Chains A and B, each alone.
Chain A
Amino acid sequence: MSPITTGILGIVLLVVLLFSKMSVGFVMAILGFVGFSYLVSLEAGLSLIAKDFFDIFSSYSLTVIPLFILMGQIAFHAGISRRLYDTAFKLTGRLPGGLAIATVAACAGFSAISGSTNATAATMATVALPEMRRYGYDMRLATGTVAAGGSLGILIPPSVIFIVYGIMTEQSIGKLFAAGILPGCVLSLLFAATIFIRVRRHPSWAPRGPSVAWREKIRSFAGVVETLILFLLVMGGMFFGIFTPTEAAAVGAFCTLMLAVIRRQLSWRSLLKSLVESTRISCMVMVIVTGATVFGHFLAVTTLPMALASWVKGLPLPPPAIMGVIVLVYLVGGCFMDALGMIMLTIPIFYPVALAMGFDPIWFGVVIVLVTEMGVITPPVGVNVYVVKGIAATVPLETIFRGALPFVISLCILVALLLLFPNLALWLPSLMR
């Protein structure tokens, strides 16, 4: 078999085995090992896996992942997510679909201290779904909002996907984070608009919430102050070059912990729970990263990525059209694969293409993150939808997918906006040193 044929066979097998419910990271590591050994030698394959596992597990730059996850976990167990939601609810409760809009706002706020989309979706589902049910919201709207709102977690920093992208492409994680802020805000507004329009059409989906006095509204701002401080500390520290990302994550986690302890919002039990949960989530993420690294080394010896890249580059199409093709590949792939695995597998292929066509690496990162964000809410493998289903067990899966689908339109609008106005992503990072 020629190396390229082996590579294609490897990818086909990858998809088949993924559907057999073997863990994503395991499948990639095992296939990568077998393929590499077949193409080079068994001896080389054996030493490749040991080296890859050690290198990734002990990588300093990747330690930022467990630390940001810990920060989000402590914030959740200390009830910060709940307070964010309460504030947002008091501000928007009277609007049509106000509770759903509040959910999006709270998701955006929680994304600002949590690094993972699943964690954001799970957190807000726990907090917001019971409230929306209590006020008689239609479950299609409610669950769809939580699933889509959770996807803000990948775009609004800190974001695990940006970290992984930054490490793979040797781009500044701080700049990537800064690049995600404005598109994240625009996306939150687009999500809110989507809800507004849907509720205008189907008023019965979202009965109005109670009215809240202005004084009460202003007072409720106390609930978001801590989140704002934490966000400014973490992002500001990176923005002005005071911290490395790992340091920002460690300081952020520590300050969240201190805040929770001073306000007496965290028992020993919840602290231990946050720690154990963070350990498992980080382990899951790191195993996928490692598996994809092994698989990536296999792909590299097949020369498939290079062949594909030069083929795409040679297409008789203008760069924006090629970009469109890449986006399409991610859209389709994202339907079947987990966001992180997808990024890890495709960046080695498409990143060189994007650079060769003169696209900005930071801008490309934002676009890719956005497109994988669609993947987490589209069927059949929309991770966020499964997370929400895990918490709202009585709601059928189809209902959640149908509820989340209109938000995909907002995501498409944002991708178009980014293509037209790259500065939406690039302006903030350009201010950094």
Chain B
Amino acid sequence: MVSREDRVKRFAHFMNWVAAASIFGMMLLTTTDVVLRYFRRPIPGTYEIVGFLGSIAVGFALASTSVNRAHVAVSILFQRLPPKAQTFVDAFNSLVAAGFFGILTWQCGALAEDLRQAGEVSMTLEMPFYPFVYGISAGCAMLAVTLFVDFLDALKTFARR
């Protein structure tokens, strides 16, 4: 049976693949634009699309980066704490961060809705902004879920000790 943690992790890594594809797309699009510009046929709106892809690249990688513990943290004093205190601090940190990214999910959603109703679009391609803001919101939601699972994990370890 696939545990809840595993399912969360798998989905986080799946989102990371979408992010990776965005970076690859940024590379291809920009390179093509540079080459075509040489023949006086630049791709209009490259600048905008690359920015949008960038937001997906970072937003969708948030959760997976957290699962892999790749966000930089300072562990020099933390390591000196007794194990029980370590788990407690871990649980506390995960819960606070999960709460923060929960709020951010909600706020990005609200911002997206505002942008949609105001009909804000980009300058050259007239592409709407709001889907990408929803994208960031989704990335934050997934990060909040991952952090909450970390919190539950830490609680379990804490109870066992």
Contacts and interface: CB of A to CB of B under 8 A. Distances in A.
Nearest to A290: B58
Q: For the complex, would chain B's binding face be called helix, strand, loop or mixed by DSSP majority?
A: helix
A70 B30 CA distance: 14
Interface residues of B, number: 57
Contacts of A243: 34
A51 B111 CA distance: 8
A250 B47 CA distance: 13
Contacts, number: 173
A247 B37 CA distance: 12
A58 B52 contact: yes
A24 B20 contact: no
Contact of A22 (B65, B70, B73): B73
Contacts of A374: none
Contacts of B33: 247
A24 B54 contact: no
Nearest to A118: B72
Given A58-B52, A287-B62, A254 B93 contact: no
A25 B73 CA distance: 9
Residue from B48, B54, B62, B93 with most neighbouring chain A CB atoms (10 Å): B54
A58 B20 contact: no
Interface residues on A, range: 35 or more
B74 A280 contact: no
B59 A250 contact: no
Closest 3 CB pairs of A and B: A250-B30, A23-B71, A283-B61
Interface of B: 16-17, 19-20, 23-24, 26-31, 33-34, 47-48, 50-55, 57-59, 61-62, 64-66, 68, 70-78, 89-90, 92-93, 96-97, 100, 103-104, 107-108, 110-111, 132-133, 136, 140
Interface string A268-287: 00001001101111111011
A366 interface: no
A70 B54 contact: no
Given A25-B71, A50-B107, A63 B16 contact: no
A282 B66 CA distance: 13
B54 A57 contact: yes
14 contacts: A24-B71, A50-B107, A57-B59, A58-B52, A60-B48, A66-B54, A250-B31, A272-B20, A279-B57, A279-B64, A280-B70, A283-B57, A283-B61, A283-B65
